[in-house]
């Protein structure tokens, strides 16, 4: 059976709404899928799998029989996530007894900024895995998808948390309990509040340091434990909030603690200030050292906020909502 021409797979990105850095030490965090997406368009191929990476201007042509034995080190780092996703999926399926996989063409494109805490690599990995499954008319549970995609991120990065892959797979709001354990908050008081909120994701500036470097610096901070406890208390409080005002206030408090940890920047602080003045609240999202700020929008002051952000010359502004469960 041929692959239906133009079949589309869409995968969201994610933000950390509360709890980054403290989650590394076992405190909770709240992650949220947002509707910045990676798109994979599948069509029938010839005898090989062809992956066209639109944003990178690169194309991969792969013999199906070679994929389980791919040496990722022989390829440019920019394409390793896709290659590893194909390899891990095929090996997982073969262990489950599947075989005779179909060739297909996959075009991948994305509007997610990279290397700024939005889970762009996880979104691409999940899109690739789901595209392979769809092209071969195979259904796996979300739990199985999480295992495959987490293993890909871990293999390519050397270490990883399940946060990014789980959040974009479930396309919802998650409470992260540790690096391997999470709870989907769908149907909860917090989820019902968040799904009606409007957010801006502001790409403020390029990150000056890698996540691993920032984590090491935070680990040496003299007030680390005190700050982590306070962040953990905010994560516990947020599950009980009822209004956007309460939610925004906690976002600002969480940001102030991250600033105390030394992971914010002057420009990020300025964006958070604008988000607090013209919205309900704001905070950096992710490891810090540059990257993105999430702003909870107040509709009456949206245009003033947007004008101020443009005057500050941020890199990009995205209007987002919580991902809708697929």
Report the side by side order of strands in the sheet with 291-297.
279-285, 291-297, 199-205, 316-320
Contacts of 295 (CB under 8 A, 6+ apart): 199, 200, 201, 202, 271, 274, 275, 279, 281, 282, 305
**Ranges of H-type helices in the chain:** 80-95, 120-135, 142-157, 163-170, 189-194, 211-219, 224-238, 244-261, 266-278, 302-311
Nearest Cα to Cα of residue 168 among 58, 317, 322: 322
Contacts of 239 (CB under 8 A, 6+ apart): 175, 185, 188, 189, 190
Q: In this structure, what DSSP letter does residue 212 have?
A: H
Cα gap 271→295, rounded to integer Å: 9
* Catalytic residue status for 164: yes
Single out the catalytic residue among 63, 76, 164, 316: 164
Q: Which residues are catalytic?
A: 164
């Amino acid at each position: 059976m041929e692959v239906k021409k133009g079949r589309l797979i869409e995968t969201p990105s994610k933000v950390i709404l509360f709890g980054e850095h403290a989650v590394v030490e076992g405190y909770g965090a709240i992650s949220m899928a947002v509707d910045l997406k990676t798109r994979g368009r599948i069509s029938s191929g010839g005898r090989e799998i062809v992956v066209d990476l639109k944003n990178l201007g690169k194309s991969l042509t792969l013999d199906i029989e070679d994929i389980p034995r791919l040496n990722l080190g022989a390829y440019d780092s920019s394409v390793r996530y896709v290659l590893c996703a194909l390899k891990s999926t095929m090996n997982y399926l073969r262990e489950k007894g599947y075989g005779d996989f179909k060739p297909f063409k996959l075009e991948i494109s994305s509007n997610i900024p990279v290397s700024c805490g939005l889970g762009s690599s996880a979104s691409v990995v999940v899109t690739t895995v789901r595209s392979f499954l769809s092209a071969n008319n195979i259904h796996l549970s979300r739990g199985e998808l999480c295992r495959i995609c987490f293993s890909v991120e871990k293999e390519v990065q050397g270490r990883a948390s399940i946060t990014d892959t789980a959040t974009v797979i479930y396309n919802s709001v998650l409470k992260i309990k540790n690096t391997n354990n999470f709870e989907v908050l769908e149907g909860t008081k917090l989820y019902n509040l968040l799904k009606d909120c409007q957010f801006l994701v502001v790409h403020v500036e390029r990150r000056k340091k890698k996540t691993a470097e920032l984590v090491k610096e935070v680990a040496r901070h003299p007030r680390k434990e005190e700050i982590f406890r306070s962040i953990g208390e905010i994560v516990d409080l947020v599950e009980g909030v009822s209004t956007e005002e309460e939610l925004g206030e906690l976002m600002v408090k969480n940001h102030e603690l991250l600033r105390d940890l030394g992971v914010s920047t002057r420009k990020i602080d300025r964006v958070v200030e604008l988000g607090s003045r013209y919205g309900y609240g704001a905070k950096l999202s992710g490891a810090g050292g540059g990257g993105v700020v999430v702003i909870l929008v107040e509709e009456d002051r949206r245009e003033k906020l947007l004008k101020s952000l443009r005057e500050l010359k941020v890199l990009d502004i995205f209007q987002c909502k919580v991902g809708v469960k697929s």
